[in-house]
Structure 1
Amino acid sequence: MNALYSTIVTAIGGRSGTVKSDDGLLEIELAMPNGLGGKGGATNPEQLFAAGYAACFGNAVIHVTRNKDRAIKDDDVEVAATVGLTPNGSGGFALLVALNVILTGVDQATAEAIVEQAHQVCPYSNATRGNIDVALSVKTR
C-alpha cells in the first residue's frame, strides 16, 4: 500500500531529549513533566500526541461534512484533546484520551452524528481503537 503522506521524526534522549523532523520544521526540546517528577519547562510526548490527535480529528470532522448540505468550515470546529498517562497493571503504562468537540452552526443531534462519523475516519481514532478508550464529548454553539 502506498502512503498518501509520511514523515520521519527522530527522538534523541527520550523524555528529556529532543525531537526533530526530517524537513527541519519541527525541532523542539522535551522534558519530563512536573506531574511525573520531572523538571517541566518543555513539551512532552503526551502533549504532542494530544496536539496531533486534536488537529487530525478536527480535520476528520471537516472531511466527513465536505459534501453535505451544511459543511463544517475550519473555524466551526474546535477539538480539545486530553491525554493522560496511567499504569497498565503489568508494570507498563497506558494512555487515557478524551476528545471534547465543539461545533458551530449545527444542532446537537447533527453534531453528535458528525463526530461519530469523524471518529470512524480519523487515522488517530483508527490507530487507537481497541487499544485506548477514547471518550467523546460533543457540544454546539
Structure 2
Amino acid sequence: MTTELTKVLYTATAHAQGGRAGTVTTDDGRLDVRLAPPRKKTPGTTNPEQLFAAGYAACFTSALAEVAAEHGVDATAAQVTCEVDLGTTEHDYGLAVRLTVGVPGLDPDRLRKLLHAADQTCPYSAAVRGNIPVTLTATAL
C-alpha cells in the first residue's frame, strides 16, 4: 500500500555519477563522497549500503526517541547499530537489515516493545516494509 504525502517537510537532493565506482554529492555540498563497490575496500570511499545504513540508523534513533517519550521513557541516549546486507536472491540482488538497539538503563524486554512502535513510525522502516527483511534486536547497555 502506497501512502501519499499530504505535506512535504523537506526534500533531500543527491546527484550520483559513475554508479558504484563514481561519486555522490548533495545539492548543498555537505555530502561529497567517492564510491567503490563494498568488496573493493578502497581507501577514502564509501558505498551505497553504508550510506543507507547511516540514514536508517539516524532515522530510527529519532523515531525511537519520539515513541519512547510518548511512553514516559527517555531514549535520547539510545545507541542504534544498523547493518545492511547486500546479497543475492533467487532472481536478483537484495538487501536485508538488522537494527540492534540499546538504551542505557532500559530493560531489553521493555525496549523491545518500543522498538516495534518505533518501527511503525520510522520513515525508513515504512519505505522498506514488505520489501526486505528487517530484524529488530533489543540489547542491554
TM over 0.5: yes
- Alignment-derived partner of residue 100 in structure 2: 100
3-state SS, counterpart of residue 66 of structure 1: helix
- Alignment-derived partner of residue 128 in structure 1: 128
The alpha-carbon deviation at position 89 of structure 1 amounts to: 1.6
3-state SS, counterpart of residue 24 of structure 1: coil
Residues 57-98 of structure 1, C-alpha deviations (whole Å, 9 max, x = no match): 11111111223322222xx201111111111221x2100110
Residues 7-35 of structure 1, C-alpha deviations (whole Å, 9 max, x = no match): 1001000000000001111111101122x
- Unaligned segments of structure 1, at least 5 residues: none
- Alignment-derived partner of residue 8 in structure 2: 3
- Alignment-derived partner of residue 82 in structure 1: 83
8, 25, 30: which one aligns with 1:20: 25
Q: Is the 8 A contact 2:50 2:84 kept in 1?
A: yes
Cα distance in 2 for partners of 1:119, 1:67 equals: 15
- Alignment-derived partner of residue 70 in structure 1: 73
**What is the TM-score normalised by the length of structure 2?**
0.89
- Unaligned segments of structure 2, at least 5 residues: 1-5
Runs of 4+ in 1 over 6 A off after TM superposition: none
What is the CA RMSD across the aligned residues, in angstroms?
1.3
**What is the TM-score normalised by the length of structure 1?**
0.89
The alpha-carbon deviation at position 131 of structure 1 amounts to: 0.2
Cα distance in 1 for partners of 2:115, 2:70 equals: 15
The alpha-carbon deviation at position 2 of structure 1 amounts to: 2.1
3-state SS, counterpart of residue 69 of structure 2: coil
